């Protein structure tokens, strides 16, 4: 219904890579909390970054459905790796839509992983509430001076370029924010220590501090004062990506649970013969299928140019909640073994939790869904 021959070919390529390269390394990467440069270089060679970047700018030029399919397959291998794919897609989408000709030349280095990127929004007083941002960019005649700090920024410990949301007009609210492309090796930029996370541990996060960082006029991405709106414009695609990632995590959990249930014996027979275990597996399978269809439906709306906000929030909210519940069920199938570090389902359970939080918490998704219903009606 949703997947054509191209989608299937890309899916199979991503699946084979995840199975042969990513999944075997996942436990070790989780333990070491290491940025897997060697895996990302291979992904770059296969064209698994910047799925939607037009061919004229060096990308494969695929649609949002392809992006969702790739995100699910990579997450089946290890969601930290899929996270990097999602980050690159978001940054490249901003550059494609809003970058100058010179700024778009950065895309080649981002896709090849020669330049690692960070999307720098979150602050101590600005998480879900982006309006709380206090980082400022002040005109200084020849350009801008950047001051402030960001926390829990994906790739902060390793990134070369930061796409920083900052206030350029303190009195203009959401219309007073702009996005700047910042060299994170520049004078005045400092990095905090790498945070040690509950899950997705090879996806590194940390703090960034900007102290009188000098930016030239060409560092402004898009129009001054449009940063908040530019950021919001990529959220639908971002939420589809996270929903697909959550689905991939849970698919890996189901596969592990089915394999274990057929091998583990209790009371003289395989535990897969017990109805209680069968129902756990059945609930996992039906919810994964539902999440996958929600993801593909939302992605297809984006590709058709339709208003997809409600559908994307529904997909992200459902898939995130589903991932936490159903990876918990996978742990349950494993019993005590599922609670032990080193078993895949233990990691998958930890990895799933963030899917309810990032790219807008699931409480925010419910607010968006309700807002869209009340604004456009239940049939919209």
**Residues with catalytic roles:** 359
CA distance 29 to 309: 34
CA distance 10 to 370: 35
Give the CA distances from residue 85 to residues 41, 92, 126, 245, 368, in Å, rounded to whole numbers and listed in that order.
12, 11, 25, 10, 25
CA distance 289 to 88: 27
Q: How many CA atoms lie within 13 A of 346 on its CB side?
A: 12
CA of residue 65 relative to chain centroid, distance: 15
Q: Is 80 helix (H, G, I), strand (E, B) or coil?
A: helix
Token output for 200: 């997705």
The pairing of beta strand 269-270 with beta strand 205-216? unpaired
Residue 80 near residue 25, CB atoms below 8 Å: no
Residue 144 near residue 167, CB atoms below 8 Å: no
Handedness of CA 273, 275, 281, 282 (dihedral sign): positive
The closest of 7, 154, 163, 169 to 82, measured between CA atoms, is 154
DSSP code per residue over 258-310 = HHHHHH-EETTEEGGGSHHHHHHHHHHHHHHHHHHHHHHHHHHHHHTT---HH
Give the CA distances from residue 27 to residues 18, 203, 246, in Å, rounded to whole numbers and listed in that order.
13, 13, 18
């Amino acid at each position: 219904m949703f997947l054509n021959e191209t989608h299937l070919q890309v899916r199979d390529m991503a699946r084979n890579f995840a199975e042969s390269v990513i999944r075997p390394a996942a436990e070790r990467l989780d333990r070491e909390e290491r940025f897997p440069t060697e895996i990302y270089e291979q992904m770059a060679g296969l064209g698994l970054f910047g799925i939607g970047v037009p061919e004229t700018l060096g990308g494969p030029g695929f649609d949002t459905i392809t992006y969702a399919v790739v995100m699910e397959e990579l997450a089946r291998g290890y969601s930290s790796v899929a996270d990097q794919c999602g980050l690159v897609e978001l940054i490249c989408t901003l550059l494609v839509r809003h970058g100058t000709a010179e700024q778009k030349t950065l895309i080649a280095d981002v896709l090849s992983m020669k330049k690692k990127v960070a999307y720098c929004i979150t602050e101590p007083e600005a998480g879900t509430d982006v309006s709380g941002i206090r980082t400022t960019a002040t005109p200084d005649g020849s350009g801008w001076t950047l001051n402030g700090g960001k926390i829990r920024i994906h790739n902060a410990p390793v990134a070369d370029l930061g796409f920083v949301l900052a206030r350029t007009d303190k009195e203009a609210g959401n219309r007073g924010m702009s996005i700047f492309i910042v060299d994170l090796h520049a004078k005045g930029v400092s990095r905090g220590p790498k945070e040690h996370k509950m899950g997705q541990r090879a996806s590194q996060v940390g703090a960034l501090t900007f102290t009188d960082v000098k930016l030239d006029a060409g560092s402004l991405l898009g129009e001054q004062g449009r940063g908040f709106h530019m950021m919001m414009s990529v959220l639908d695609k971002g939420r589809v990506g996270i929903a697909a990632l959550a689905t991939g995590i849970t698919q890996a959990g189901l596969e592990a649970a089915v394999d274990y249930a057929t091998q583990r014996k209790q009371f003289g027979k395989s535990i897969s013969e017990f109805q209680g275990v069968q129902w756990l597996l059945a609930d996992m399978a039906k919810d994964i299928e539902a999440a996958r269809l929600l993801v593909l439906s939302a992605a297809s709306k984006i590709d058709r140019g339709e208003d997809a906000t409600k559908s994307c929030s529904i997909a992200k909210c459902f898939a995130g909640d589903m991932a936490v519940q159903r990876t918990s069920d996978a742990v349950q199938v494993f019993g005590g073994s599922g609670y032990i570090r080193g078993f895949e389902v233990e990691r998958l359970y930890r990895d799933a939790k963030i899917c309810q939080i990032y790219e807008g918490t699931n409480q925010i998704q419910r607010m968006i869904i309700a807002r869209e219903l009340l604004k456009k009606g239940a049939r919209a």
